[in-house]
Amino acid sequence: MKSDRFSYRAPWWLPGGNPQTVWAALASRRHFGPPPRWKRSRWKTPDGDFIDVDQALHSSAQEAPLLVLFHGLEGSSASQYAVAFADFSAAHGVAYAVPHFRGCSGELNHAPRAYHSGDFQEIDWILRRFAEEHPGRPLIAVGVSLGGNALMRWAGEMGTEATSCVRAIASVCSPLDLAAGGHAIGRGFNRVVYTRMFMRSMVPKALGKLEQHPGLFDRQKLLAARDLYEFDNLFTAPLHGFKDTTDYWARASAKPVLHSIRVPALALNARNDPFVPAESLPTQQDAGHHVTLWQPEQGRDVGFPVSYGPLGLPGHVRAMPEAVGNWLLAHL
Protein backbone atom coordinates (compact mmCIF):
# COMPACT_ATOMS: atom_id res chain seq x y z
CA MET A 1 0.00 0.00 0.00
CA LYS A 2 1.01 3.64 -0.33
CA SER A 3 3.13 4.65 2.65
CA ASP A 4 4.30 7.96 4.04
CA ARG A 5 7.05 6.40 6.15
CA PHE A 6 9.69 8.01 3.93
CA SER A 7 8.58 11.63 3.94
CA TYR A 8 11.84 13.03 2.58
CA ARG A 9 12.52 16.76 2.63
CA ALA A 10 15.51 18.18 0.78
CA PRO A 11 17.95 20.64 2.42
CA TRP A 12 16.94 24.27 1.94
CA TRP A 13 20.05 24.98 -0.13
CA LEU A 14 19.21 22.26 -2.68
CA PRO A 15 15.98 23.40 -4.35
CA GLY A 16 14.85 21.37 -7.35
CA GLY A 17 15.67 17.96 -8.70
CA ASN A 18 18.87 18.53 -10.67
CA PRO A 19 20.85 20.20 -7.83
CA GLN A 20 19.85 17.31 -5.54
CA THR A 21 21.21 14.79 -8.03
CA VAL A 22 24.45 16.62 -8.79
CA TRP A 23 25.23 17.26 -5.12
CA ALA A 24 24.58 13.65 -4.15
CA ALA A 25 26.79 12.35 -6.96
CA LEU A 26 29.71 14.76 -6.63
CA ALA A 27 29.86 16.33 -3.19
CA SER A 28 27.73 14.59 -0.57
CA ARG A 29 29.22 12.12 1.90
CA ARG A 30 28.63 8.42 1.23
CA HIS A 31 29.75 6.89 4.53
CA PHE A 32 30.18 7.84 8.18
CA GLY A 33 33.17 5.64 8.94
CA PRO A 34 35.94 4.32 6.69
CA PRO A 35 35.09 3.61 3.04
CA PRO A 36 34.14 0.02 2.25
CA ARG A 37 36.75 -2.56 1.35
CA TRP A 38 35.89 -5.17 -1.26
CA LYS A 39 36.76 -8.71 -2.23
CA ARG A 40 36.22 -9.29 -5.95
CA SER A 41 35.16 -12.63 -7.40
CA ARG A 42 34.71 -13.52 -11.05
CA TRP A 43 31.66 -15.65 -11.84
CA LYS A 44 31.32 -17.60 -15.06
CA THR A 45 27.90 -17.06 -16.60
CA PRO A 46 25.73 -19.89 -17.97
CA ASP A 47 26.61 -18.81 -21.54
CA GLY A 48 30.38 -18.87 -20.94
CA ASP A 49 30.87 -15.15 -20.28
CA PHE A 50 31.68 -13.58 -16.91
CA ILE A 51 30.60 -10.98 -14.37
CA ASP A 52 32.58 -9.54 -11.46
CA VAL A 53 31.05 -9.52 -7.97
CA ASP A 54 32.31 -7.25 -5.17
CA GLN A 55 31.56 -8.40 -1.62
CA ALA A 56 32.12 -6.01 1.26
CA LEU A 57 34.71 -7.14 3.81
CA HIS A 58 33.04 -5.78 6.94
CA SER A 59 32.15 -8.38 9.56
CA SER A 60 28.71 -9.96 9.91
CA ALA A 61 27.33 -12.97 11.76
CA GLN A 62 27.07 -16.20 9.78
CA GLU A 63 23.28 -16.11 9.98
CA ALA A 64 23.01 -12.37 9.21
CA PRO A 65 21.10 -11.33 6.07
CA LEU A 66 22.85 -10.79 2.77
CA LEU A 67 21.90 -7.62 0.90
CA VAL A 68 22.52 -7.74 -2.85
CA LEU A 69 22.54 -4.46 -4.78
CA PHE A 70 21.94 -4.25 -8.54
CA HIS A 71 23.42 -0.98 -9.81
CA GLY A 72 22.04 1.46 -12.35
CA LEU A 73 23.01 2.33 -15.92
CA GLU A 74 26.84 2.37 -16.14
CA GLY A 75 27.06 2.06 -12.36
CA SER A 76 29.35 -0.08 -10.19
CA SER A 77 30.30 -0.76 -6.58
CA ALA A 78 31.93 2.69 -6.63
CA SER A 79 28.63 4.50 -7.30
CA GLN A 80 27.60 6.83 -4.47
CA TYR A 81 24.46 4.82 -3.66
CA ALA A 82 26.41 1.52 -3.64
CA VAL A 83 28.91 2.94 -1.16
CA ALA A 84 26.09 4.36 0.98
CA PHE A 85 24.36 0.96 1.11
CA ALA A 86 27.70 -0.61 2.06
CA ASP A 87 27.91 1.88 4.94
CA PHE A 88 24.36 0.98 6.02
CA SER A 89 25.14 -2.73 5.83
CA ALA A 90 28.30 -2.41 7.92
CA ALA A 91 26.45 -0.39 10.56
CA HIS A 92 23.70 -3.04 10.81
CA GLY A 93 25.90 -6.14 10.59
CA VAL A 94 24.44 -7.16 7.24
CA ALA A 95 26.55 -8.94 4.59
CA TYR A 96 26.63 -7.00 1.34
CA ALA A 97 27.47 -7.69 -2.29
CA VAL A 98 27.36 -5.79 -5.58
CA PRO A 99 27.27 -7.94 -8.73
CA HIS A 100 28.31 -5.93 -11.77
CA PHE A 101 26.29 -6.13 -14.93
CA ARG A 102 28.37 -7.29 -17.88
CA GLY A 103 31.02 -4.76 -18.85
CA CYS A 104 30.54 -2.53 -15.77
CA SER A 105 33.38 -3.77 -13.55
CA GLY A 106 36.17 -2.07 -15.50
CA GLU A 107 36.72 -4.88 -18.00
CA LEU A 108 34.70 -5.52 -21.13
CA ASN A 109 32.87 -8.85 -21.09
CA HIS A 110 33.51 -11.41 -23.83
CA ALA A 111 30.08 -12.14 -25.31
CA PRO A 112 28.33 -9.92 -27.88
CA ARG A 113 25.55 -9.18 -25.40
CA ALA A 114 25.90 -6.55 -22.67
CA TYR A 115 23.07 -5.76 -20.21
CA HIS A 116 19.69 -4.07 -20.35
CA SER A 117 16.84 -2.76 -18.22
CA GLY A 118 14.71 -5.89 -18.43
CA ASP A 119 17.48 -8.44 -17.96
CA PHE A 120 15.52 -10.57 -15.48
CA GLN A 121 17.17 -13.83 -16.60
CA GLU A 122 20.53 -12.41 -15.48
CA ILE A 123 18.98 -11.31 -12.18
CA ASP A 124 17.59 -14.82 -11.72
CA TRP A 125 20.84 -16.76 -12.01
CA ILE A 126 22.73 -14.20 -9.92
CA LEU A 127 20.23 -14.37 -7.05
CA ARG A 128 20.05 -18.16 -7.23
CA ARG A 129 23.83 -18.42 -7.04
CA PHE A 130 23.92 -16.13 -4.00
CA ALA A 131 21.23 -18.28 -2.38
CA GLU A 132 23.23 -21.45 -3.10
CA GLU A 133 26.50 -20.00 -1.81
CA HIS A 134 24.95 -18.54 1.36
CA PRO A 135 22.29 -21.06 2.45
CA GLY A 136 22.35 -19.84 6.05
CA ARG A 137 21.69 -16.21 5.18
CA PRO A 138 18.26 -14.76 4.35
CA LEU A 139 18.58 -12.91 1.05
CA ILE A 140 17.27 -9.41 0.38
CA ALA A 141 17.90 -7.33 -2.74
CA VAL A 142 17.73 -3.72 -3.88
CA GLY A 143 18.02 -2.36 -7.40
CA VAL A 144 18.80 1.22 -8.30
CA SER A 145 17.48 2.84 -11.49
CA LEU A 146 18.03 0.31 -14.32
CA GLY A 147 18.88 -2.40 -11.78
CA GLY A 148 15.64 -1.75 -9.93
CA ASN A 149 13.52 -2.15 -13.03
CA ALA A 150 15.29 -5.43 -13.87
CA LEU A 151 14.82 -6.68 -10.29
CA MET A 152 11.11 -5.82 -10.21
CA ARG A 153 10.69 -7.35 -13.66
CA TRP A 154 12.29 -10.54 -12.31
CA ALA A 155 9.93 -10.64 -9.33
CA GLY A 156 6.92 -10.12 -11.59
CA GLU A 157 8.04 -12.83 -13.99
CA MET A 158 8.80 -15.31 -11.20
CA GLY A 159 5.63 -14.76 -9.17
CA THR A 160 5.49 -17.07 -6.14
CA GLU A 161 8.77 -18.73 -7.20
CA ALA A 162 10.67 -15.59 -6.13
CA THR A 163 9.80 -16.33 -2.49
CA SER A 164 12.04 -19.41 -2.57
CA CYS A 165 15.02 -17.17 -3.31
CA VAL A 166 14.55 -13.80 -1.57
CA ARG A 167 12.66 -12.49 1.44
CA ALA A 168 12.08 -8.95 0.16
CA ILE A 169 13.19 -6.61 -2.65
CA ALA A 170 13.22 -2.88 -3.36
CA SER A 171 13.67 -0.60 -6.35
CA VAL A 172 15.01 2.93 -5.98
CA CYS A 173 14.32 5.69 -8.52
CA SER A 174 13.72 3.11 -11.24
CA PRO A 175 12.07 3.93 -14.57
CA LEU A 176 9.40 1.23 -14.25
CA ASP A 177 7.84 2.63 -17.43
CA LEU A 178 10.88 2.62 -19.70
CA ALA A 179 9.25 4.53 -22.55
CA ALA A 180 8.32 7.42 -20.27
CA GLY A 181 11.79 7.47 -18.72
CA GLY A 182 13.58 7.07 -22.04
CA HIS A 183 11.75 9.98 -23.64
CA ALA A 184 12.25 12.14 -20.52
CA ILE A 185 16.03 11.70 -20.46
CA GLY A 186 16.16 12.67 -24.14
CA ARG A 187 14.67 16.13 -23.61
CA GLY A 188 15.97 19.54 -22.48
CA PHE A 189 18.48 19.71 -19.64
CA ASN A 190 18.50 15.92 -19.31
CA ARG A 191 19.60 15.54 -22.93
CA VAL A 192 22.31 18.18 -22.64
CA VAL A 193 23.82 16.85 -19.39
CA TYR A 194 22.80 13.30 -18.47
CA THR A 195 22.36 11.81 -21.93
CA ARG A 196 25.82 13.06 -22.92
CA MET A 197 27.29 11.66 -19.70
CA PHE A 198 25.86 8.19 -20.35
CA MET A 199 26.80 8.24 -24.02
CA ARG A 200 30.42 9.11 -23.19
CA SER A 201 30.62 5.81 -21.33
CA MET A 202 28.34 3.61 -23.44
CA VAL A 203 29.59 4.41 -26.93
CA PRO A 204 33.25 3.41 -26.30
CA LYS A 205 32.05 0.15 -24.73
CA ALA A 206 29.88 -0.55 -27.77
CA LEU A 207 32.83 0.15 -30.07
CA GLY A 208 34.87 -2.27 -27.97
CA LYS A 209 32.18 -4.86 -28.63
CA LEU A 210 32.52 -4.18 -32.35
CA GLU A 211 36.26 -4.87 -32.16
CA GLN A 212 35.54 -8.15 -30.37
CA HIS A 213 32.78 -9.12 -32.81
CA PRO A 214 33.22 -7.44 -36.24
CA GLY A 215 29.97 -6.77 -38.06
CA LEU A 216 27.90 -6.65 -34.88
CA PHE A 217 26.37 -3.29 -35.86
CA ASP A 218 26.93 -0.27 -38.11
CA ARG A 219 29.81 1.73 -36.62
CA GLN A 220 29.02 5.02 -38.37
CA LYS A 221 25.36 4.91 -37.37
CA LEU A 222 26.31 4.31 -33.74
CA LEU A 223 28.75 7.23 -33.79
CA ALA A 224 25.93 9.40 -35.14
CA ALA A 225 23.55 8.44 -32.30
CA ARG A 226 22.76 11.39 -30.07
CA ASP A 227 20.40 9.96 -27.46
CA LEU A 228 19.49 6.71 -25.71
CA TYR A 229 16.62 6.01 -28.09
CA GLU A 230 19.00 5.93 -31.07
CA PHE A 231 21.66 4.02 -29.11
CA ASP A 232 19.16 1.39 -27.96
CA ASN A 233 17.81 1.09 -31.51
CA LEU A 234 21.26 0.27 -32.89
CA PHE A 235 22.85 -1.62 -30.01
CA THR A 236 20.82 -2.60 -26.94
CA ALA A 237 17.62 -3.75 -28.61
CA PRO A 238 18.97 -5.95 -31.45
CA LEU A 239 21.74 -7.48 -29.33
CA HIS A 240 19.26 -8.64 -26.70
CA GLY A 241 16.46 -10.02 -28.83
CA PHE A 242 14.23 -6.98 -29.29
CA LYS A 243 12.94 -5.66 -32.60
CA ASP A 244 13.77 -2.02 -31.88
CA THR A 245 13.79 0.53 -29.07
CA THR A 246 10.00 0.74 -28.90
CA ASP A 247 9.75 -3.04 -28.56
CA TYR A 248 12.56 -3.10 -25.97
CA TRP A 249 11.08 -0.38 -23.80
CA ALA A 250 7.62 -1.98 -23.92
CA ARG A 251 8.68 -5.57 -23.20
CA ALA A 252 11.39 -4.79 -20.62
CA SER A 253 9.37 -2.42 -18.39
CA ALA A 254 8.47 -3.69 -14.92
CA LYS A 255 5.30 -1.64 -14.49
CA PRO A 256 3.06 -4.06 -16.45
CA VAL A 257 4.06 -7.01 -14.22
CA LEU A 258 4.08 -5.34 -10.80
CA HIS A 259 0.69 -6.87 -10.00
CA SER A 260 2.23 -10.36 -10.44
CA ILE A 261 4.84 -9.83 -7.69
CA ARG A 262 4.31 -12.16 -4.73
CA VAL A 263 7.29 -11.26 -2.53
CA PRO A 264 7.32 -8.14 -0.32
CA ALA A 265 8.52 -5.35 -2.62
CA LEU A 266 9.12 -1.62 -2.23
CA ALA A 267 9.17 0.88 -5.10
CA LEU A 268 10.67 4.26 -4.11
CA ASN A 269 10.40 7.09 -6.65
CA ALA A 270 10.80 10.81 -6.07
CA ARG A 271 8.07 12.75 -7.83
CA ASN A 272 10.55 15.45 -8.91
CA ASP A 273 12.79 13.00 -10.79
CA PRO A 274 13.08 14.31 -14.39
CA PHE A 275 14.23 10.83 -15.49
CA VAL A 276 10.95 9.33 -14.26
CA PRO A 277 7.94 11.61 -14.90
CA ALA A 278 5.51 11.62 -11.99
CA GLU A 279 2.59 10.83 -14.27
CA SER A 280 4.28 7.56 -15.28
CA LEU A 281 4.66 6.27 -11.72
CA PRO A 282 2.63 3.19 -10.77
CA THR A 283 -0.56 3.55 -8.78
CA GLN A 284 -1.64 1.03 -6.18
CA GLN A 285 -3.95 -0.50 -8.76
CA ASP A 286 -0.90 -1.09 -10.98
CA ALA A 287 1.21 -2.40 -8.11
CA GLY A 288 -1.04 -4.97 -6.44
CA HIS A 289 -1.08 -6.09 -2.81
CA HIS A 290 2.55 -7.13 -2.38
CA VAL A 291 4.15 -3.86 -3.54
CA THR A 292 4.58 -0.84 -1.30
CA LEU A 293 4.84 2.53 -3.06
CA TRP A 294 6.90 5.37 -1.61
CA GLN A 295 6.60 8.49 -3.74
CA PRO A 296 7.95 11.55 -1.87
CA GLU A 297 7.69 14.92 -3.58
CA GLN A 298 11.46 15.48 -3.43
CA GLY A 299 14.64 13.45 -3.72
CA ARG A 300 15.42 13.45 -7.44
CA ASP A 301 17.35 10.61 -9.06
CA VAL A 302 18.89 8.49 -6.26
CA GLY A 303 20.04 11.60 -4.42
CA PHE A 304 17.97 12.16 -1.25
CA PRO A 305 20.81 14.14 0.40
CA VAL A 306 20.28 15.20 4.02
CA SER A 307 21.88 18.13 5.80
CA TYR A 308 23.47 18.44 9.21
CA GLY A 309 25.43 21.00 11.22
CA PRO A 310 24.58 24.66 11.90
CA LEU A 311 24.49 25.58 8.20
CA GLY A 312 23.01 22.34 6.98
CA LEU A 313 26.26 21.37 5.21
CA PRO A 314 27.78 19.38 3.61
CA GLY A 315 24.96 16.83 3.25
CA HIS A 316 24.84 13.04 3.39
CA VAL A 317 23.16 10.38 1.25
CA ARG A 318 22.38 7.84 3.98
CA ALA A 319 18.71 8.91 4.30
CA MET A 320 17.61 6.71 1.40
CA PRO A 321 19.71 3.60 2.22
CA GLU A 322 18.64 3.83 5.85
CA ALA A 323 14.93 3.97 4.99
CA VAL A 324 15.06 1.32 2.26
CA GLY A 325 17.46 -0.95 4.17
CA ASN A 326 15.33 -0.86 7.32
CA TRP A 327 12.20 -1.63 5.26
CA LEU A 328 13.92 -4.69 3.80
CA LEU A 329 15.15 -5.86 7.20
CA ALA A 330 11.64 -5.47 8.65
CA HIS A 331 10.37 -8.00 6.08
CA LEU A 332 12.78 -10.83 6.88
- Average pLDDT for 71-97: 95
Most confident of 33-42, 118-127, 192-201, 267-276: 118-127
Higher-confidence position of 190 and 146? 146
Q: How far apart are CA 57 and CA 108, in angstroms?
A: 25
Spatial CA neighbour of 134 closest among 93, 159, 165: 165
- Tens of pLDDT, residues 262-307: 999 999 998 888 889 999 999 999 999 999 999 988 766 455 545 4
Give me the pLDDT at residue 34, please: 84
- Is pLDDT at 311 greater than 50 in this prediction? no
By the 10 Å C-beta count (0-12 exposed, 13-18 middle, 19+ buried), 102 is classed as: buried
pLDDT for 69 beyond 80: yes
At residue 249, the 3 state secondary structure works out as helix
Which pLDDT belongs to residue 6? 63
Region of 113 please: left (phi>0), alpha (psi -120 to 50) or beta.
Answer: beta
* Positions of CATH 3.40.50.1820 in the chain: 17-177+253-330
pLDDT tens per residue across span 196-205: 888 999 999 9
The answer to whether residues 330 and 305 touch, using CB atoms and an 8 Å cutoff, is no
d(CA 68, CA 72) in angstroms, rounded, equals 13
What topology is assigned to 17-177+253-330 in CATH?
Rossmann fold (3.40.50)
pLDDT at 3 over 50: no
Q: Quick check: 64 pLDDT over 80?
A: yes
Amino acid letter for position 267: A
What are the helix (H) ranges across 227-300? 228-231, 237-239, 245-252, 284-287
Q: Which helix (H) or strand (E) holds 224?
A: helix 219-224
- Is 4 a residue whose pLDDT tops 50? no
- pLDDT at residue 59, rounded to an integer: 96
Average pLDDT over residues 54-64: 97
From 8-17, 109-118, 130-139, 252-261, the region with the lowest mean pLDDT: 8-17
Whether the pLDDT of residue 124 is over 80: the answer is yes
- The three-class DSSP label of residue 70 is strand
% the chain with pLDDT above 90: 73
* pLDDT at residue 7 in the model: 57
Q: What is the mean pLDDT of the chain?
A: 88
CA distance 331 to 67: 13
What does 139-172 look like in DSSP terms, one character per residue?
Answer: EEEEEETHHHHHHHHHHHHHGGGGGGT-SEEEEE
Q: What average pLDDT does the segment 124-131 reach?
A: 98
Mean pLDDT on 243-248: 98
Q: What is the pLDDT of residue 253?
A: 98
Upper half-sphere CA count for residue 51 (Cβ side, 13 Å):
23
pLDDT in tens, 153-179: 999 999 999 999 999 999 999 999 999
pLDDT value for 33: 72
pTM of the model: 0.89
Average pLDDT over residues 94-117: 97
Residue 191 has pLDDT above 50, yes or no: yes
Q: What is the pLDDT of residue 327?
A: 96
CA distance 284 to 290: 10
